[in-house]
Structure 1
């Protein structure tokens, strides 16, 4: 184990030439980032998760109820042992052939069976109230941490001159503000990493899980080798758009449609301008070129910049999806008071989701014999795989 740790913390990988870990030990004159500092993030992540539970129960929930958001979830499907077995053991989205077989077996109309599967899928989704509470928690944290980051950074020289991120590197002392900023951000994303298994299950679960892992890795990486200054710029820049997307979701759940439209437009503008404009011009410019000029490259420098470049590719992809959402809404003529960008998206980006596609109609009931109900073909469902015109969610929806 000692050999593995020695290999992993190789100074020639992590630090510039002629710099050792001993040079970055804390002294009476200066404090530097230490790996041990990050251990605090684990218990703090648990504390943040517990604070979230209290916040959602005693603050977010009363706010949601005050906005007339219903606590009840989607309507439950009528109990049926045969359909339940197909749903749990075979498929949640039966094809046309299986639907026809079930129709003959149960003497149910095909559309009734489709509706049962739709209601059964929706039954596993949380209520709008739960979605609102989750978004309100995220909005509150993002607003706090973004406000803290702006207030802290406006007093620092590297906000106004990014070359300050590299002067005297890596012998830049760690301040209390930087330490607090990093530990809090790391703890929050650790809490998200684990709470993702209990939160609302999104289509992009794996993508967001990997995103949280990448975020945690970048925060840890920047702290350990004391690229802390440029790391604060990256964190603050990314938090700016996250505030808007969460409050837009809250407006969507509360059915404040005009406000939702406005917030979505603001989110799109901030996201695209910050991720495709400010990030490459401001962040990548200093990590790639200014650091090369002042410090020079070394192994972990290449890895750090590679991660930041990969992040830029993700920014481009997500920006494309946001533009796609807006173009789709415009092409469908849904821009106006009733346009809901968070619904039109069909969850193109996993963090932008619509409200639950609940079916508010009555539960399915058996009908006449299949051959009698299909004499004129009136129960044939047109559209892709027979789902859409029956009112079922599109395949790429939650």
Structure 2
């Protein structure tokens, strides 16, 4: 009890200092900004016949009141739900009555009550898909095409890979490292690109750090805890395959978010482009999952579990991307996937260094080949 009180004293004194600062109006300065500090994030756009619905979030320090909205420099009528000032970090749905035309681009400028403008652009107008059982089924099928089926197709290479010699096995493990490193770098880059659109309260770089470093350290802690047990080589390889599958699964969750958002926003062509590219790319992920199992004879049930763990999250991602589409969530999951795959790459590297006697060039060529393979397939996506 005494220890608790000693910890509580500085906290209580801190409260007194803050209260004193507030009561004296900022140490007597009473400083006020020359212009209101306002900030808005456009989180979602939905388009239905004759209307455009914008979901916005107030990321400024004070409550925010709306003024008027202009589309193509013409004032448009709108309704806001809820009406009235939007509290800090609060959201509102702005429904604009406007006869938009499919395929055309629109610049929308929202003015606050203080006449501060915030703009968003609709690249190509298209009807937003309704939330229904058919839509959910479509997202599920997209997730299957993007994540589950390609990963399983990659797993089917296992019988052929069993004929490889020791050096070829090491090269294959190095190839897996290259795949994972490329996926991690790509996810980090995409996360930083997306965080640029977040409001300052979300602290995008910090959010990326929490997701990426948190995932890396969690998997590393689990690995060290597991390493205390004396596993044989087969168990170690199965554990590595499981962690590769987990890391790839987290990465595919982020991919699913991007695809679900593209389809829900009516960007069907972009979504189809993504799907075809991801199908080709994710076959290599299945290859990475089975690489540690070349010397084992895992059961079909075990392989099926790895495939679902690696590819299944893509289905969940398409659901979340289509139905929720919160930008901060996308950034966090991308960072989470990046940290996971990079940690697994680190663990495989330690495994190779400990178990393999292959020449350094074998490892170098494997890592580089893995990265180059995803670079080539990524050309179809970017």
**Is TM-score (shorter-chain normalized) higher than 0.5?**
no
- Higher RCO structure (Cα 8 Å, ≥6 apart): 1
The TM-score by the shorter chain falls in which range?
under 0.3
TM-score, structure 2 length as denominator? Answer: 0.26
Structure 1 or 2: more strand by fraction: 2
